[in-house]
Amino acid sequence: MEMADMITTFSSEGALAVGNDIIYTPTLEDVGAYLVLCWLPTRNDGKPGEPVIAISNPVLAALPVVSNVCIKKLSSTAYVGERKYYGGHEGPNIYNWYRETAEGTTSIINGANSTIYEVTDFDYNFQLIFGYMPARSDSIVGELKLLEPTKTIFPELP
């Protein structure tokens, strides 16, 4: 089978050409699909050899991971945890906020499970820590990422 015939055959079966370089990095859209490599070896003098085809297993999503996690102060009483997610289709991530004492004792803040946290009177004299556990849409979760604590929270001056 000629190379042009192979490409026509794969295209008629719903295949999409996604690259024409020797290196291809799968994208999120490739998850669940097969990658097909069609290669026509060619000698230095330009004479082509027999076409070669290689078909991968279905592309799997990477494990969910998080990077660029940070805490931003929105106001004197509000913080937001921001992050960049990688690893397949994003699912219901797990967010938590923690209080930490000056001695390093950490405790979870019950009910604080979103990216935004409003400071309460109970937070005074503690530092806040944002925790993020990435999750894919198929319920696979990644490792918990805890940030460095904020500065100690003090009440507003009167």
Question: Which H, E and C letters describe the chain, residue by residue?
Answer: CCHHHHHHHHHHCCCCCCCCCCCCCCCHHHCCCCCEEEECCECCCCCECCCEEEECCCCCCCCCEEEEEEEEEEECCEEEEEEEEECCCECCCEEEEEEECCCCCEEECCCCCCCEEECCHHHCCCEEEEEEECEECCCCECCCEECCCCCCCCCCCC
What pLDDT is attached to residue 5? 64
| Total structural domains within the chain | 2
Same domain flag for 36 and 69: no
Does position 34 have pLDDT exceeding 90, yes or no?
no
Residue 22 has a pLDDT of 80
Residue numbers of the domain that contains 105: 65-146
Please name the amino acid found at residue 119.
Answer: V
Give 9's pLDDT tier (boundaries 50, 70, 90): low
Domain boundary among 11, 33, 55: 55
| Co-location of 51 and 70 in the same domain | no
Do 79 and 50 share a structural domain? no
pLDDT digits (tens, 9 = 90+) for 56-82: 899 999 999 999 889 999 998 999 999
| % pLDDT > 70, the chain | 89
Among all chains, which residue has been given the structure tokens 């008629």? 12
Q: What is the mean pLDDT of the chain?
A: 88
Residue closest to 146 by CA, chosen among 70, 72, 86: 70
Regarding pTM above 0.85, the answer is: no
pLDDT of residue 15: 65
pLDDT in tens, 77-118: 999 999 999 988 999 999 999 999 999 999 999 999 999 999
Q: Are residues 139 and 71 in the same domain?
A: yes
Q: Is residue 72 part of a domain?
A: yes
Based on the fold, state whether residues 83 and 36 are members of the same structural domain: no
Give the pLDDT of residue 101: 94
pLDDT for position 35: 87
